[in-house]
Structure 1
Amino acid sequence: MESDFKEHPKTVAQDDFWAQVKRTVNGQPVSQEQIDMIVARVKSGLILQRGDKLLDLACGNGALSRYFFDDCDEFYGVDFSEVLIERAKHFFEAAPQRCFQLADVGDYIVSEKSPERFTKALCYGSFSYFPEQVARLVLSTLHGKFKRVERVFIGNLPDLDRYQQFYTDGLDHGHELKDYGSKIGIWRSEAEFRSMAEDCGWVAEFQRMPKEYYAAHYRYDVVLTRRV
């Protein structure tokens, strides 16, 4: 799946942003209405405001990231796909306030030299593709090293309790549910995610998108805040 994230964007037109990151339904890019729902939910969950410095982990090509530029003072996006970061830089970067970096999220999170500059963090549609140890590393490092990050939004997570609403072909997909390299990545129940978040120092609040959202029937979002 890692190679797919790196190679697939090369097969898609440079400005076909949603197809590049496979934000599609039946192979077709999702509508602007769907994107607007995502953007509204992220802004609400993060309570973005002027003065914030937003870190976007696994930011892809920046097509979603750009919707948050005007709601924070600084933005920094990180992704491991060379082609996606090239397109993010070409179409959306406006240094020094809006920047993108080519880096593996697991490597970046431990090597960032100025973690205290960030106040909010985002990871949308990618967290389930992190190996378990990387997922925990990201959460624990955001808590322990990025001490000014007060809210983290992790979006579009596949719900283990609802996987049968996605896999409707009657086949056994059990072997895929905990495989980060599978089509959907690792499926976690809310209880599983809450436990992992708590282990890493966070309090988890779960949210569901409106029923009109194309993946509302099997995905959820989570907002992480620090324990009081």
Structure 2
Amino acid sequence: MTQFVPENDSYDAHARSCAPDDLWGQVKRTVHGKPLSAAQIDMILENVQAMLELNASDVLLDLCCGNGALTHHWFAACANGIGVDASPCLIDIARSRFGEGEPDRFVLAEAVSYLESPQCRSDFTKAVCYGSLQYFSAGRAAELLAALRRLCPTLRRVVIGNIPDRDRAAAFFGAKLPDAEELDSPLTPTGVWHSAQGFTELARRSGWRCRTQSMPADFHAAHYRFDAILTPLEENSR
């Protein structure tokens, strides 16, 4: 399969710079460089599972799964699943820690490249991409959403989580608000900032109905990020 080179190639280098047991640091689940608390991680796990309406019959696709530290919990709640990530370091960690003797459970590939490859399964019912879509340009994000709609015909629900909210960027940056070019760049530490309205329209053009929501107020990033829940948009509704 042809590999697409990720636009932010510092991702793998960062993971390699972390200690082998620093699972949250490796995937930047941190605040001011410190790993999120167990309560914050539990909030992510529980809210994503609820948004997905995950059940024991589902087959889950986790795009940009990182080291699998979140993914393996969601896999435990469904029938089967595949995690995909472009970082060799993180996929090696996912396979060694959470592969459970299944070498094909975690796949080394860029997300869109995987979807467009013969390797992609056709029976996924749910999909998640948590805290990673902002590192795709707006154009590549649109390609990803369109590929999910076109190439995964049994998908009933997709969660795109932890998206930086352009309309609330000042709550994060304060007086040092970047210009539009920086907010549109996938190469910055925070990636592309989408407005809820803009992301909803991007999803609609890709064949999805989109509903956005925020995490509970005690989540560390609730004041400047949102989650998106996608369900298939019927052809005659586009």
5+ long unaligned stretches in structure 2: 1-6
Matched, 1:40 2:46: yes
CA-CA distance at 1:69 after TM superposition: 1.9
CA-CA distance at 1:172 after TM superposition: 4.3
1:135-160 per-residue CA deviation (whole Å, 9 max, x = no partner) reads 11111111111000010000000000
CA-CA distance at 1:113 after TM superposition: 4.2
1:20-73 per-residue CA deviation (whole Å, 9 max, x = no partner) reads 111101110000100111111111111111111100000000011011122111
Q: 1:59 is paired with a residue of what secondary structure? A: coil
For 2:110, the aligned partner's letter is D
Matched, 1:132 2:138: yes
Matched, 1:176 2:182: yes
CA-CA distance at 1:107 after TM superposition: 1.1
Q: 2:117: which partner in 1?
A: 111
Q: Distance in 2 between matches of 1:133 and 1:106?
A: 12
Q: 1:50 is paired with a residue of what secondary structure? A: coil
* Counterpart selection for 1:4 from 7, 10, 25: 10
Q: 1:196 is paired with a residue of what secondary structure? A: helix
Q: 2:159: which partner in 1?
A: 153
Q: 2:143 is paired with a residue of what secondary structure? A: helix
CA-CA distance at 1:162 after TM superposition: 0.3
Q: Normalization by structure 1: what TM-score?
A: 0.95
Q: Distance in 1 between matches of 2:46 and 2:72?
A: 13
Q: 2:105 is paired with a residue of what secondary structure? A: strand
RMSD: 1.5
**Count of residues in correspondence between the two structures:** 227
**Divergent runs of 4+, >3 A:** 95-98, 112-115
5+ long unaligned stretches in structure 1: none
Change (3 A) 1:136 1:112: farther
Q: 2:97: which partner in 1?
A: 91
Q: 2:4: which partner in 1?
A: none
Percent of aligned positions with the same letter in both sequences? 40
| Deviates further, 65-74 or 158-167 | 65-74
Q: Distance in 1 between matches of 2:92 and 2:35?
A: 20
For 2:216, the aligned partner's letter is P
1:71-94 per-residue CA deviation (whole Å, 9 max, x = no partner) reads 111110000001000000011112
Change (3 A) 1:127 1:112: farther
Q: Is the 8 A contact 2:68 2:83 kept in 1?
A: yes
Q: 1:204: which partner in 2?
A: 210
Matched, 1:52 2:58: yes
Q: Distance in 2 between matches of 1:4 and 1:61?
A: 16
For 1:173, the aligned partner's letter is P
CA-CA distance at 1:132 after TM superposition: 2.0
Q: Is the 8 A contact 1:74 1:97 kept in 2?
A: no
